[in-house]
Structure 1
Amino acid sequence: MSTARMENPTSIMGLNKPNGQFRGPLKPVGLTSGSLATAPEPDAHQKGGNIPQGSGGIRFGDDWKKCLQLPQKDCRFRTSDVTSTKGNEFEDYCLKRELLMGIFEMGWEKPSPVQEESIPIALSGRDILARAKNGTGKSGAYLIPLLERIDLKKDHIQVHVVIATPGRILDLIKKGVAKVDKVQMMVMDEADKLLSQDFVVLIEDIISFLAKGRQILLYSATFPISVQKFMAKHLSKPYEINLMDELTLKGITQYYAYVTERQKVHCLNTLFSRLQINQSIIFCNSTQRVELLAKKITQLGYSCFYIHAKMMQEYRNRVFHDFRNGLCRNLVCTDLFTRGIDIQAVNVVINFDFPKNAETYLHRIGRSGRFGHLGLAINLITSEDRFNLKSIEDQLVTDIKPIPGSIDKGLYVAEKPNQS
């Protein structure tokens, strides 16, 4: 279970301004070699899979790996956030053949550190409290054991896999639409948010409807002290995973540019002209500023979409879908877009408005540098932001440096994947 996300929405082209898509020209950004991301390879489910229908799956003795439709191999550099593993393979966990096929066809070659730590424990049925950085494979750490433990012969909700807010899920339960009395596994992704004062009462109410012996898995990059109280009440001898030797991703280089409010758009225009941006996400602190900035970026001649919480969900889905598929280079948004969003092509995050706290900053810049890849975070700092800048540096034990006149492309531009 997680907070609301936008997965596999239908793409409808030609949306106009109120729907979040400004259709400016696809003006090249930085060097001409910087290209937009192409649409991702369809996953096994979208292709219809490779298992013959009605055959009961691949039979014992078949060379099932020959049937795989593997995506293009990703040969980009990856940091130790995802490469410092024990050397385990996905095949070591005795997973279902069909699940293994799906894992490999997604392009996942080996488990990341958080997946190595989490998968065997989750399969054993033990509660887990896992803390790992954004973009290091937390979703796979719980989705793989979740899918493995589902029994397709049982016609009831087993892990209550629902994409919704806690309030909506609770409403479905109380109306009898979602029958969860046989649920054996509950996963909370972005658990710090779900266990905050805004949601923890709802979460505890949901738990009261579950089977008594249920397993609870908590995953997040940050855990406030309040989680300890919840853990003591609802988790049974949880296995704790902490892979947070530092809070920020190793592959993200952070800079700040000291500007006045009036200079921000000019500074942004300069960044667009000098950086080799594949895709960028630009954060503002209000919905009004998001729309105004997106319009200004389009007037400057750059392709730009925008997204914020006041837009209809249908329009947000479409904007996200099109941006993820590389139809636009720049996306302006509010903090709606800081959690649970994985777009591998994003290599630059710009805080047009600097955030107020360290948690928001951490989740924002974590939209780049996904799964050990390189990324760049640039913060536009006014005189009012200087105290927040110092505070966030101290809390995250990180170094945000003044922006240099020229930024080394090697810090945020990866080589293209090998075509072979």
Structure 2
Amino acid sequence: MNSTSFSSLPLTPALLSNLDTLGYHQMTAIQAQSLPAVLEGRDLIAQAKTGSGKTAAFGLGILQKLNPAWFATQALVLCPTRELADQVANELRRLARAMGNVKVLVLTGGAPMRPQIASLEHGAHIVVGTPGRIRDHLGRATLDLSKVQTLVLDEADRMTDMGFYDEIANIVSACPTRRQTLLFSATYPDDIRHATASFLIDPLEVTVEAQHDNSQIEQRFYEIGFDERNHAVARLLNHFQPVSTIAFCNTKVQCRELADALRAQGFTALALYGELEQRERDEILVLFANRSCSVLVATDVAARGLDIPNLEAVINVDVSKDTEVHIHRVGRTGRGGEQGLALTLCAPNEKKWVKLIEEYQNAPVEWHKLDELKEDEYAVAEPAPMMTLVIQGGKKDKLRPGDLLGALTGDAGLLKEQVGKINVFEFQTYVALDRRIAYQAFERLNKNSPLGGDFGAIKGRYFKMRFIEV
């Protein structure tokens, strides 16, 4: 029997059968190195990136020993952001499908407390949440962690970067001393090792090197002068014309400046960095994922945990001093069998970091000249293909994606292909529309509104609507 096969693990027949149905046959590197120890009940420190399969590595450990008949919080997974918490919870639900009634509850900020408290009153087997919101529930005594058997700290380095250490320490102290603790982190510097030492007992340490598939990703390096960065990014975008790009910057100031410079040249660009409010962050990610924003200018900390499908290009606006960070940035493109493009700008003082990249990947990088790229001084950047309509109504108003699609293809007369992603949140809904017909569709939705031009009809009810201009 293959040692990387899930069937080689001591998992219940129900879990193995479901893994087979999901198409999970062979373990990823992180799963193969950590799951045997996790299933034995050992504590774990695992260095692994987003996309490495780590959720199944801790998720299967949680589910193997979970008792669905016992309505107590038996596992807690702490994540740095709401997006990652949602991703983790959805994956846990998929892994638990064959086990019957396993309740996975998400507790994050940016959502009202009352529905969360009501859900907790009915009990949850697994809680996935952000440190701040978990702390709030502990303070109100609405969450009981005294029965937790497995505690997972996901992206521990990022939670520490975001200033959550004190909250995490309080949450750990609310869990039983006898428990299993699993810590996952993209990096594991000495300060985090020291800070988390008291949370773990004799942990197994596992490191999975980050590499990407070079056959799927074309990497190009461009040498530039010190003051050419913003101009060089615009030039690359004009030449390669990717539909969606993440441009990585080392600082939030640089992020904001580059996004402003690109917008001034007609690109639909937005900046994503650590100190944004959750609502702003959510909105930016919706606009980028639904193709209403073509360029996301982001810091590494802000972009961690994002899983953007069909990302055509990555631009390293400056070379990262950490080789693994560079590999992680580049590995965001060229996923799912698609071809990807990774473009790196390098000032003379950054060549030493490029040498480290060459050593790490055991191959020289490919240098190109910016002057090779044709530059049309009259060229106007193509705007993003979609525009986002925000509707002031959401789950609380019982709005569903099907209702909106019906209104847009019915009353507004659109074709299905002209409607993009529909994201329904608690109080707001975001709908991506083909930019060429967006305003026309909006006018049709609200042409007979008795409440004025900002209101449109959906299933016989009127909701306030507006476009987000990027």
* TM-score calculated relative to the size of structure 1: 0.62
Unaligned runs of 5+ in 1: 1-84, 408-420
The residue type equivalent to 1:139 in the other structure is: T
The residue type equivalent to 2:180 in the other structure is: Q
**In the aligned structure 1, how far is the partner of 2:268 from the partner of 2:34?**
40
Pair 1:338-2:329 in alignment: no
The residue type equivalent to 1:170 in the other structure is: R
8 A Cα contact 2:249 2:298, kept in partner: yes
**In the aligned structure 1, how far is the partner of 2:315 from the partner of 2:38?**
37
**In the aligned structure 1, how far is the partner of 2:302 from the partner of 2:364?**
22
Q: Determine the structure 2 residue equivalent to 1:313.
A: 278
* TM-score calculated relative to the size of structure 2: 0.56
8 A Cα contact 1:137 1:371, kept in partner: no
Change (3 A) 1:171 1:300: same
Q: Deviations over 1:340-373 (max 9, x none)?
A: 2222322422122444555654543343355897
The residue type equivalent to 2:365 in the other structure is: K
Helix, strand or coil for the counterpart of 1:333? strand
Q: Determine the structure 2 residue equivalent to 1:158.
A: 74
Which residue, 108, 116, 124 being the options, matches 2:32?
A: 116
**In the aligned structure 2, how far is the partner of 1:310 from the partner of 1:132?**
25
Q: Determine the structure 2 residue equivalent to 1:364.
A: 329
Q: Determine the structure 1 residue equivalent to 2:42.
A: 126
State the shift of 1:161 in Å.
3.5
State the shift of 1:99 in Å.
8.8
RMSD: 3.9
**In the aligned structure 2, how far is the partner of 1:216 from the partner of 1:347?**
37
Helix, strand or coil for the counterpart of 1:241? strand
**In the aligned structure 1, how far is the partner of 2:141 from the partner of 2:186?**
33
Alignment of 1:15-414 (within 5 A): 86-89=3-6, 94-95=11-12, 97=14, 101=18, 104=21, 108=24, 110-162=26-78, 163=85, 165-194=130-159, 199-200=164-165, 202-226=167-191, 228-229=193-194, 233-244=198-209, 247-251=210-214, 254-275=219-240, 277=242, 279-355=244-320, 357-358=322-323, 360-369=325-334, 375-390=340-355, 393=357, 401-404=365-368
**In the aligned structure 1, how far is the partner of 2:136 from the partner of 2:76?**
14
Helix, strand or coil for the counterpart of 1:160? strand
Change (3 A) 1:282 1:93: farther
State the shift of 1:328 in Å.
4.0
Higher RCO structure (Cα 8 Å, ≥6 apart): 1
Change (3 A) 1:350 1:399: farther
Q: Deviations over 1:178-213 (max 9, x none)?
A: 221111111112233446795555433332221121
Give identity over the alignment, percent: 29
8 A Cα contact 2:272 2:298, kept in partner: yes
- Name the structure where strand makes up a greater proportion of residues: 2
State the shift of 1:141 in Å.
1.7
**In the aligned structure 2, how far is the partner of 1:146 from the partner of 1:98?**
12
Q: Determine the structure 1 residue equivalent to 2:451.
A: none
| Length, aligned pairs only | 319
